[in-house]
Amino acid sequence: MSALEDALELRKLAMEHQKFFRESIPLIASENIMSPLAMEMLTTDLGFRYAEGLPHHRYYQGNFYVDQIEDKVIDLSNRVFNVKQSDPRPVSGTNANMSVIYGLLKPGDKIATPDLSGGGHISAAKFGAVGLRGLNTVNYPYDPETMSVLPDEASKLIIKEKPKVCLFGQSVFLFPAPLREMADAFQEAGCTVWYDGAHVLGLIAGKQFQDPIREGAHVITGSTHKTLPGPQHGIILGNTEDDMWKSIQRGVFPGTLSNHHLNAMAALGVTLAETLEFGEDYAKQIIKNARAMASELSENGVHVLGESRGFTESHTFIMNVSKFGGGKLVAENLEKSGIVANKNLLPEDNNRNSQNPSGIRVGAQEITRIGFKESDARTVARSMAEVIKKGQSDRVRSEMKELKESFTQVKYCFGNLKPYEYIELYR
């Protein structure tokens, strides 16, 4: 095979990938699609340039316009999240997490984190970023049915262990973290409170989940492509003392990155502007759709966690499918039936069986982005229940493809400036 043939084969695979998602129902909780205006930013010359350091204090020439873009993105972020400090340079949510770790913690320091089987993120696990930094971790007690931190028990743990930093935030983030309930414990322990809002950043921006800064967090990290429907990028938000913020910014550069992907930063700025206009309506509909799906699945005999609290208050919910063959089998059957969701650890897995866990995690943010309402979400949920209980279905795949053809536009954005259509993203 020649080099040209290799290149054309890669293009062919990319086009096939796009066709697959154009014809499928996307329910991965950590994914979303951008608006046409935001996507345009990724194709600009910004994607070929470097800008080390902070605006107006660069190490390279040629950053005159980059500085203005970054100033604008910071201003938009401060307005969206009602904070005084924003750093849009991290290139991912985990990069943002690493920056805070490097800025606030030294090897041997203690950090309190959610347990991995309780929905915690791998960057906060012993084999992830916190462990590789040489930190000592303690995990909060949590309710296995709602995967939520138990505030009274966690407060006692914090007072006893006195961690330097208390981290809240999960990959399965069903309900708000109990920051207000634990405020006295934070004060007594003298710890810094860090909130990883990667999954729920758009819900926070839309004022529909919780307001971590007003509830006691010093700093928020997040990825910008989940419920906040922007590029694959990261961000750090704060209302901290200047010295703490400077330490965090040094953790960003030169701590964990050099250049910060300027085209993605510009795309993030467009997304933040659209969030100011449409974010509240978008966040409200995400949660409605997630709860509708969870309720429908439960009514159809699938165990959805958190029923006592309405299943979820976020974009995501999680099912226990162990009696239907486990997460691996069910995720594969769903994928073959045109529904894309991921297998996920549950508390009962106790950090084991990561390749064949008991759970399936579902996110409603991307289908909401293209216009799904509760009735559409329930239609998908009924098909999911059928596949979960009976296995792969070509009929369901055909039905999901037909359903998806009715949703061709990106919503909650400035797309009305030109007649962009969702399908154009897959040319």
Residue 416 confidence (pLDDT) = 54
By C-alpha distance, which of 42, 34, 33 is closest to 264? 42
**Portions of the chain given CATH number 3.40.640.10:** 38-274
Answer whether residue 292 shows pLDDT above 90.
yes
Instruction: Quick: pLDDT tens for 126-143.
Output: 777 777 788 999 999 999
Kindly state the percentage of the chain with pLDDT values over 90.
89
Cβ atoms < 10 Å from Cβ of 137 = 18
Class of domain 38-274: alpha beta
Helical segments of 107-254, H only? 129-132, 151-161, 183-189, 201-205, 212-215, 242-250
DSSP structure class, residue 47: G
183 vs 178, 179, 221, 306, CA distance in Å? 9, 6, 20, 25
> CA–CA separation, 3 vs 422, rounded Å?
32
By C-alpha distance, which of 366, 260, 262, 272 is closest to 43? 262
Residue 419 confidence (pLDDT) = 38
**Portions of the chain given CATH number 3.90.1150.10:** 23-30+278-426
The pTM (predicted TM-score) of the whole model is: 0.95
Instruction: Quick: pLDDT tens for 130-176.
Output: 777 889 999 999 999 999 999 999 999 999 999 999 999 999 999 99
Contact 302, 319 (CB under 8 A): yes
> CA–CA separation, 367 vs 376, rounded Å?
9
Q: In the structure encoding, which two tokens stand for residue 22, read together?
A: 């154009």
Instruction: Quick: pLDDT tens for 295-316.
Output: 999 999 999 999 999 999 999 9
CATH of domain 23-30+278-426: 3.90.1150.10
